Amino acid sequence: MALMDRLRRRPSPEEVVKAHGAYVARLLYRLFGPGSDIDDVYQAVFVEVLRALPGFEGRAKLSTWIHRITLNVAYQEMRLQTRERASRSAEDLECATADLCHERDDFARADSRRLLYAGLASLDAKKRIAVVLHDVEGYTLKEISEHLGRPLQTVASQVRAGRAELARFVAEAESAGRGLTAPGVREAKA
C-alpha cells in the first residue's frame, strides 16, 4: 500500500525544481549560449511545468515531460528573440556584439565557443534545437524525433541544414578575419 501511495503522490514544486533544475539550466545554456541571460527562460520553464503539473498523467517519465516543456519554452523565446533582433538597429547590434567581444571566458577555446554560439544563434529555432540536441547533447535522431513530435526525416533534414548553415557562418566569419563577429557586422574596436 505504501508503494501505491508513493506512486500516486505528486512531487512538490520544490522537489521538481531541485530534481530537474540543473538539467534545465544546462540545456538552456547550450541552446542559448554563453553570455545569454537564461534566468527568465529558466523561470518561464518552471512556471509552465508547475502550472501543468496537476495534469501530468505519468504516460512519460517526468524528466521527459519537463524536457519537452523546456524545448517548447526555448523555441518560443528563440522566435521572440528573432523578431526582436530583426527590429533592432545596426547600432544596437554593434553594441551587443561589442559586449560579447569584451566578455572574459575561462575556457581555452573561448573565441571558438563564442563563434559557435553566434553561429547557433543565427540558425532558425527549429534547426538550432535539432543541432544542439543531436551534436551537443548527444541525442539520436530518433530520440529527438520522439521528444519534438516531428517526423524522423524532418529532424534529420533540420540537423543537416543547420550544420550546413553553421559551417557557412563559421567559414564566412573566419575568411573575413572577424572571428567571433557575425558576418555582415563590423567588429568592435577594443
pLDDT along the chain (190 residues), means of 10: 51 88 92 84 92 85 91 87 58 50 46 82 91 89 89 93 92 73 42
Instruction: Select from 112, 113, 108, 88 the least CA-distant residue to 185.
Output: 88
Check residue 9 and give its pLDDT: 65
pLDDT at 54: 87
Q: So what's the pLDDT on residue 178?
A: 56
Please give the model's pTM, rounded to 2 decimal places: 0.58
CATH class, domain 90-190, is mainly alpha
CA distance 149 to 112: 32
Residues of the chain with CATH 1.10.10.10: 90-190
Reference 119, options 176, 171, 187, 188; nearest CA is 171
CATH of domain 11-87: 1.10.1740.10
Can you give the pLDDT at residue 182? Answer: 44
* pLDDT for position 91: 47
Q: What angle do CA 188, 28, 84 make, to 5 degrees?
A: 50
Task: Note the pLDDT of residue 83.
Answer: 65
Residue 75 sits at the vertex; the CA angle it makes with 179 and 38, to the nearest 5 degrees, is 65
Residues of the chain with CATH 1.10.1740.10: 11-87
